[in-house]
Amino acid sequence: MSSSKIPIFILGATGYIGGSVLTRLLAHPNSQTFDITALVRSAEKAQRLQAFGINAVTGSTDEKEKLEALVLQAHVVLSMASADNFPAIQTVLSGMKKRHDALGDVPILIHTSGTGILHDDARGAYASETIYDDMKPEQIEALPATQLHHNLDLAIEEADKAGYLRSYIVFPGTIYGVASGPFVEAGIQHPFSVQIPGLTLAALDRGQPGMVGKGLAIWPHISLDDVVDLYILLFDAVLTNPENVGHGREGYFFVENGEFRWYDLSKAIGEALVEAGLAKSSEPTSFSDEELIKYAGSMEMGNGMGTNARCRANRARALGWKPTKRTEDLFDSIKPGVEALMKAMQVK
């Protein structure tokens, strides 16, 4: 490694978000100055990533010593593997502290959380009027630590406060769009997001779309391209002008460019499936408790699709982020997204 290069460590490089961010880092005008390492679970994918100039190490975040040693070598850590793996983030933080203690460096952590932290218990019964503003950290501080993902955010914020790293946390809403690019083509990266494909597969299975309760609650959305734009903008800003970017408590970035009602989303999925001859009705009906467990893994996760998580990405916009895709683009993306998912699943 040349000492002039910036050591960057990536978690989640094969993922929907992480693979897209990595693609853009490789196309970055300064990419020659990056020394990128990624921890990848599949040995085969690690090997394929190496052909792209990535120092891909096979392993899991469960391998504490390996993870800590990799973090120790990095000035920038991009955490895009899990918003919920608390032991993994503890290891990342301890590696960053060791780096600070050994070298005096103040490494940078950009972590991916999600607007799930804002969720209420609406169960689809109503649209909330509460809208969170990321320029008002006190509003976020009022959230209980038990909110989804939030134990990790708080541990990261604490580490920033202790001064051994600078943290920036991004909170995307529902991300939409099918990922594309060299890593998808090489079979390295997951092309699909979580919520819309999940609702699509549930609708396919039950013959019509489902929703939690009446589907009246509201969530933010954002296109994958706009999410990646923010990552790169933030990455550039914290490397070149860190004094201009809030961190820790002031470094929470919501990522949204509009909102949707769960009913409308499910209805659009239903229409795409009916058009493809794969569902009997486009009209969403309420999921039963058994269905929530079947399709989401648990009642809690299932009910997440009936919560409100309304917010405004004011901090990212103040940094110069200009998302281009809007609510109409979300709905325009449903039909091609459903078609791509059906093709990938070989559903006819």
Q: Where are the beta strands (DSSP E) in 149-302?
A: 166-172, 174-176, 210-211, 218-223, 252-255, 259-261, 285-286
The reply on whether position 190 binds ligand NAP by CB under 6 A is yes
Give CA–CA dist 129/240, Å, rounded. Answer: 38
Residues linked to residue 77 through DSSP beta bridges, in sequence order: 9, 109
Residues linked to residue 9 through DSSP beta bridges, in sequence order: 37, 77
What is the crossing angle of helices 289-296 and 195-206, to 10°? 130
Q: Is 245 helix (H, G, I), strand (E, B) or coil?
A: coil
Least distance from ligand NAP to the Cβ atom of residue 104, Å:
29
Least distance from ligand NAP to the Cβ atom of residue 106, Å:
25
Q: Which residues contact 288 (CB under 8 A, 6 or more apart)?
A: none
* 285 closest CA partner among 212, 225, 182, 345: 212
Q: How far is CA 168 from the centre of its chain?
A: 13
Q: Which stretch binds ligand NAP (CB under 6 A): 60-68, 233-241, 288-296, 326-334?
A: 60-68
Starting from the edge strand earliest in sequence, which strands make up the sheet with 259-261, in order? 174-176, 218-223, 259-261
The reply on whether position 38 binds ligand NAP by CB under 6 A is no
Q: How many CA atoms lie within 13 A of 191 on its CB side?
A: 18
- Report 124-183 residues binding ligand NAP (CB under 6 A): 172, 174-175
- Report 12-31 residues binding ligand NAP (CB under 6 A): 12-18
Taking the least distance from each CB to ligand NAP, the nearer of 22 and 164 is 22
Least distance from ligand NAP to the Cβ atom of residue 33, Å:
24
Q: Are strands 259-261 and 218-223 parallel, antiparallel or unpaired?
A: antiparallel
Q: Which stretch binds ligand NAP (CB under 6 A): 36-44, 138-146, 271-279, 340-348?
A: 36-44
**Residue 85: exposed, middle, or buried by beta-carbon count in 10 A (0-12, 13-18, 19+)?**
middle
The reply on whether position 39 binds ligand NAP by CB under 6 A is yes
Taking the least distance from each CB to ligand NAP, the nearer of 119 and 247 is 119
Residue, CB closest to ligand NAP:
15
The reply on whether position 254 binds ligand NAP by CB under 6 A is no
Least distance from ligand NAP to the Cβ atom of residue 114, Å:
3
Q: Which stretch binds ligand NAP (CB under 6 A): 9-17, 46-54, 297-305, 308-316?
A: 9-17
* 202 closest CA partner among 280, 296, 123: 296
Q: Binding residues for ligand NAP, how many (CB under 6 A)?
A: 27
Least distance from ligand NAP to the Cβ atom of residue 91, Å:
11
The reply on whether position 114 binds ligand NAP by CB under 6 A is yes
Least distance from ligand NAP to the Cβ atom of residue 194, Å:
4
The reply on whether position 42 binds ligand NAP by CB under 6 A is yes
The reply on whether position 46 binds ligand NAP by CB under 6 A is no
- Decide if 9 contacts 70 (C-beta within 8 A): yes
- Decide if 57 contacts 36 (C-beta within 8 A): no
The reply on whether position 223 binds ligand NAP by CB under 6 A is no
The amino acid sitting at 234 is L
The reply on whether position 98 binds ligand NAP by CB under 6 A is no
The reply on whether position 81 binds ligand NAP by CB under 6 A is yes
Give the chain's length: 348
Taking the least distance from each CB to ligand NAP, the nearer of 80 and 279 is 80
Applying CB under 6 A, which residues contact ligand NAP? 11-18, 39, 41-42, 60-62, 80-83, 112, 114, 172, 174-175, 190, 193-195
